[in-house]
Structure 1
Amino acid sequence: MFDMNRLHPLRHFSAATTMTRGSTVHAQEIGFTDLNKQGENGKTVFARAKRGQFFQTEPHLENQYLGDAPLRAYLKRNVPKKVLEQFAPDLERFGHRCATDIHQLGRECELNPPSVQHFDAWGNRVDDLITCSAWKSMHDIAAEEGLISIAYERKYGPWSRLYQIAKLYLYIPSSGLYSCPLAMTDGAAQTIDRIDKNTGHSLLHEKAFPRLISRDPQKFWTSGQWMTERKGGSDVAGGTETVAVPQEDGTFKLYGYKWFSSATDSNMTLALARIVDENKQTTPGSKGLSMFYMETRNEDGSLNGIDIQKLKNKLGTRQLPTAELLLDGSTAHLISEPGRGVAGISNMLTITRLHNATGAVSGMRRMVNLARDYSKRRTVFGKLICEHPLHMQTLARMEVETRAALFLVMEASRLLGLEECKMATEHDKLLLRIMTPLMKLYTAKQAMTIASEGLECFGGQGYIEDTGLPAMLRDAQVLPIWEGTTNVLSMDVLRAIAKTHGKVLQTLFKEIQEKVAIASKSSNVHIQNGCQATSQSVNKLAKFLEGEATRDSSLLEVGARDFAYSLARTYMASLLLEHAVWDEATELDAITVARWCEQDLCPVVTNHSRGHYDNKSVTMDTRLVMDGYTDKPLSKL
């Protein structure tokens, strides 16, 4: 019979001695005291284990620019040599800083979240928002490093935006979520920059805009984006109840409740509200929404008709002061045409969605790089983690996802730079229009997967708050929610197609096919297979759209998410192919193509063939979800 005692970890130990590899070792030498030793009071002293000599080694954070081969390769391939030589040294310097002092400040922001003091000692309502010194330092760093100004100075022409996004990509994982107010600041700057300077908005162009893009910490402003109300979500047309009452001096007083206001400590904000007409009525729907500019504080420093009701208690992004605000007569200025507020925020959404995607891919890169470094430091089962093939396979899959996401974000940045400098073709503009929601929705989902998988790479330490690693997962969870959920953005893709009468889709397919045509000249088997998989995906999508999807408009609505995923994966495959046939490409670039194209590039066609979008399947979806739900009768289901 098998002796279970053989499995006991202390089966060879005795009170006095133990044997190890033929040598006699006293118990005291391995961390145990003599159980029979008497204490001062004559009582037996129980055994005590020493701490031992082994401690886990934390991962090392390397220079964020030098440690990112795909980023440097993309910039080298796309940016003119003379231009890259001018800003690459700054990226290298900043990459080091993001791994050192900025990283430490970001950690301090996580450990010292904001709070609100509603009343002073005498009972006066003050609503003093308290943030830590590290958060304030991030404000100064953002200005000094030009994290907003680079894109608007346009020193490097169309490459300025790409330079800025590359720098933000290095910064965001170390930023302590200060990247959030910077995203909205960039969005506000973009919105103001595109407002005609001759329309009378001198306050915007002479006061606000110069501060939003300033490199002087004393002058630099951040901006909020106050759109969401109690009804919540992306349906601002149906959910906005804030009203704007005209004043004799041409300003407006805003009254309403803003349910989410990230970066509550901002200097200004852009907000949506409904103008009250002479009959004290407002226009419902999107046609009744207008955009307003308001400063958060008055000249004397007091809040501009704003009551901070509470700070949100969130799963993640705890560093970020997100509040519920009551606007009670806040002075504001109309900056859109009346009833054109939704159109006014479109430029802002392009920027903030790009920032969201940049945050997603930068978080992925940070997690992969930390796990990579840890694999060279942690020993398990007698060898380093990096010597275990299964673990390296896992990391390789994470790396492929990260590279594909990186190229997607960088390509969108490149196109935006061209568009901002009025150098974009109609093809470029249409491509950017459909890329923006695809990029945001897909990278956000990738970021969640990589963050979760990454924590496993650290074992139990990945679950310990003191390491800072769990915060990466918590903070990643907001990415699919900010700036439109996955389903909302999937519907936005369909709207983009409808509004352009299919031109954005034709442009995307043409772009993919052109990249495949160039890559197909390669003799590399991995690239050839990648070209075949990508071409097949485009053909499947085209056939799907020309078939039942044309005859049944509801089909695409049900399959909108799978359709968006199919477009994103197929386009990302073409970007990887384009990079893999670059003159300085390596074998790893071809391998990346092969690994990416092993997945189902066209899930919308696969799931359509399985009947997932027909009426019977939709009915079954509802029945499955509602099975056992007793609140309402299910007789109609």
Structure 2
Amino acid sequence: MIELFHQQPPSLGNQYTDDRVLRSFLRRALPRDVLAQVEPDLTTMGELAGGELYRLHLADRLNEPVLTQWDAWGERIDHIEVSPLWKRAARLAAEYGLVALPYERTYGVFSRIVQFALVYLFHPSTDVYTCPLAMSDGAARTLVEAGDATLIDRALPRLISRDPDRCWTSGQWMTELPGGSDVSRTETIARPGFDGVWRLFGRKWFTSATTGQMALALARPDGNPPGSRGLALFYIELRDDEGRLQGIRVNRLKDKLGTRKVPTAELSLEGTPARLVGAPNGGVRAIVPMLQVTRIWNSVSAASFMRRGIALARDYARRRVAFDAPLNRQPLHTETLATLQAEFEGAFHLSFLTAGLLGAEETGVADERQRHLLRVLTSITKLTTGRQAVDVMSEVIEAFGGAGYVEDTGLPTLLRDAHVLPIWEGTTNVLALDTLRALAQPGTWEAILSLADELMAGVNDASLARASVHARTALDHARRWFGEARDRARLERGARRLALTIGRSLELALLISHATWSLTEEHDGRTRAAALRFARTPIDLIDDDDCDDTALADDMPM
């Protein structure tokens, strides 16, 4: 009897102990006593991420949020039931302090690094439950920055609670049909009532994590001028003491390409009670802390997705035999995986650099250079890593051949979910334009160049030294182009290439820096290999020959 072939699926081990990049980074970034304190939680989260949560993620594949608008007796309830994995993830997120850590400040300036290390492990096995966590973290920081004692006393302890039965999550209601990233076109109106409570009227076209207990929303106070200067930020509690929605109708759940477990809804606000956060014309300014936080969550999630895809592809390459040899013994396949690994490592280090800058800012130890870097790198890191994640995950799917295209392997979900990363919290183009504004501030370019020089100082490996010249030359070219591009249209046409050049140059500089440390302290040459491979990819994307061929965008008949 002929035995039929059986292909073993890829499997995961402990996602902390198996992650050389994370463990090496934390050995360098954290004091020994801090690492010793947090390593048990990291190890347990790594076991959950590669074990229970990953198995539940696969088993939960077909479960999606369900909206029930009416109960059996004709009452409007607008109840959203989330998946079993999301319910498990919610409890774990609270217990491990995934939002609480930076506000508890147990680890001082390192609290953000510890937080995002746990988030990085947690994210890819929990069907993007990081979405409500990111918005809750952003809401907490926004309320702290706004300084409203009543709201801080009311909401902050719940947002950062480690008790799953007490912990709140927050929504973020900005997007409306007339304008996505262009919030200046917001149509929601806020009217003050005789009882001193504001009430909101309008339609929010795209609201993520609608199952939270609170939300922060933009609206235009009645009588305020049009445009972004007429907007205000409002705090909303979704339900009253009896659990009924307060002037909120859930019109429908969005049918999305990816992040299908996230209950993204279209809402109508019909006199929703709200409290003003900050000035009645300072809404856009008030959401800056929120966007800063959520964009860093996005960047860390991008690195996390890349790591997960590569881990699965690497394990599969050991198990899959083709043309008489395992894939991990075939030069072209290993060449492909090595390139993906280098992209991931660059994204990882850039994301955690930005996370560390946020921690320094929040704990009051950031110097002027770090503040400049946080302002510009929040956008650059998010746009760079978001683009990398989509490209890497596309290659990961291809690394599985036909199996990568089959839904019940769970692999296509990774690619679909990665596609949200360049879109949510500002598309690549929107953030590239934001980068132009940040670079125009005095001191920003000096901060970027001095950081690069600091990272690449002390390189004593000849190949790494040549790669250092490559990174610095690309940054010099970017600065020169920015200074010479006086025409605004030319600047905007090249903004994406400019931002990506800075992002990829700094990723290379970070890889060189960590490789130099790792060679000395760990006697490990793998980061060096990643740095040299990354140096052979496109780093300088600036185009000096600015051809205004934008007529191709319309491509109308002549």
The answer, yes or no, to whether TM exceeds 0.5 is yes
| Residue matched to 1:534 | 471
Shift in Å, 1:108: 4.7
1:258 paired with 2:195, answer no
* Aligned AA (2:293): I
**1:100 Cα deviation (Å)?**
1.4
- Pairing 1:567–2:496 present: no
Q: Secondary structure at the match of 2:319?
A: coil
Find 1:339's aligned residue among 281, 290, 306: 281
Q: Distance in 1 between matches of 2:423 and 2:71?
A: 36
Determine if contact 1:105/1:176 at 8 Å carries over to the other structure: no
User: 1: distance between equivalents of 2:473 and 2:78?
Assistant: 59
- Match of 1:393, SS state, is helix
SS at match of 2:457: helix
Distance in 1, Cα, partners of 2:176 & 2:209: 16
Contact kept, 8 Å, 2:373 with 2:448, in 1: the verdict is: yes
Match of 1:275 in 2: 221
**In structure 2, C-alpha distance between the alignment counterparts of 1:232 and 1:103, rounded to whole Å:** 37
**Pair 1:598-2:545 in alignment:** no
Match of 2:22 in 1: 71
SS at match of 2:294: helix
Report how far residue 120 of structure 1 moved.
2.2
Q: Which consecutive unaligned segments of at least 5 residues does structure 1 have?
A: 1-28, 31-51
Distance in 2 (alpha carbons) for counterparts of 1:545 and 1:477: 29
Return the offset for 1:107: 3.5
Specify the SS of the correspondent of 1:274: strand
Alignment check: 8 A CA contact 1:232 1:259 kept: no
1:542 Cα deviation (Å)? 3.2
Structure 1 residue 572: Cα displacement: 1.1
- Please name the residue that 1:587 is paired with: 525
Question: How many Å separate the matches in 2 of 1:351 and 1:106?
Answer: 26
Match of 2:342 among 393, 396, 400: 400
Q: RMSD of the alignment, in Å?
A: 1.4
The Cα shift of 1:54 comes to 1.2
Query: 3-state SS of the aligned residue for 1:123?
Result: coil
Match of 1:20 in 2: none
- Matching residue's letter, 1:621: T
- What residue number does 1:14 align with? none
- CA drift of 1:109 comes to 4.6
Unaligned stretches of 5+ residues in structure 2:
none
Structure 1 equivalent of residue 82 of structure 2: 131
- The equivalent of 1:218 in structure 2 is 165
The residue matched to 1:603 in structure 2 has which SS? Answer: coil
Alpha-carbon contact 2:171-2:214 (below 8 Å) kept? yes
- Which segments of structure 1 move beyond 4 Å, counting only runs of 4 or more? none
Tell me which residue corresponds to 2:385: 443
Alpha-carbon distance between aligned partners in 2 of 1:476 and 1:488, rounded to the nearest angstrom: 18
Question: Residue 209 of structure 1 corresponds to which residue in structure 2?
Answer: 156
Q: 1:538 deviation in Å?
A: 2.5
Contact 1:107–1:176 (CA<8 Å) still a contact in 2? Answer: no
- Structure 2 CA distance for aligned equivalents of residues 444 and 187 of structure 1: 19
CA contact (8 A) 2:85 2:126 kept: no
CA distance in 1 between counterparts of 2:415 and 2:538 reads 26
Question: In the TM superposition, what is the alpha-carbon distance from 1:543 to its structure 2 partner?
Answer: 2.9
Partner SS, residue 521 of structure 2 = coil
- Conserved in 1, the CA contact under 8 Å of 2:67 and 2:252? yes
- Report the equivalent of 1:243: 189
The 5 A counterparts of 1:170-319 are 170-196=121-147, 199=148, 201-202=149-150, 204-237=151-184, 239-276=185-222, 281-319=223-261
Query: Does the Cα contact within 8 Å between 1:526 and 1:593 map onto a contact in 2?
Result: no
What is the number of equivalent residue pairs in this alignment?
555
Q: Write the deviation string for residues 351-386 of structure 1: whole angstroms up to 9, x where unpaired.
A: 100011111110000000111111111111111111
1:164 to 107, 111, 115: 115
Larger Rg: 1
**C-alpha distance in 2, partners of 1:560/1:542?**
12
What SS class does the counterpart of residue 272 from structure 2 fall into?
A: strand
The amino acid across from 1:167 in the alignment is L
Deviation digits for residues 10-68 of structure 1, max 9, x if unmatched? xxxxxxxxxxxxxxxxxxx45xxxxxxxxxxxxxxxxxxxxx52111111111111111
Deviation at residue 532 of structure 1 after TM alignment: 1.6
Distance 1:570 1:382 in 2: 40
- Counterpart in 2 of 1:506? 446
Residue aligning to 2:490: 555
Distance apart, 1:397 and its partner CA: 0.2
Identity %: 43
Does residue 433 in structure 1 map to residue 375 in structure 2? Answer: yes
Report the alpha carbon displacement of residue 621 of structure 1 after superposing the two structures with TM: 2.5
Secondary structure at the counterpart of residue 175 of structure 2: coil
Tell me which of the two structures has the higher relative contact order, counting C-alpha pairs closer than 8 angstroms and 6 or more residues apart: 2
Aligned counterparts of 1:538 and 1:444: Cα–Cα separation in 2 = 21
Residue equivalent to 2:550: 621
1:493 equivalenced with 2:435 (yes/no): yes
1:242–1:274 Cα contact (<8 Å) kept = yes
- SS in structure 2 opposite 1:111? coil
- For the 8 Å contact 1:102–1:174, the answer to whether it is kept is yes
* Structure 1 residue 406, shift from structure 2 partner: 0.5
Contact persistence 1:529–1:594 (CA under 8 A): no
Amino acid at match of 2:503: A
Structure 1 residue 88, shift from structure 2 partner: 1.5
Distance (whole Å) between structure 1 residues aligned to residue 140 and residue 456 of structure 2? 37
Asked if structure 1 preserves the Cα contact closer than 8 Å seen for 2:83 and 2:261, the reply is no
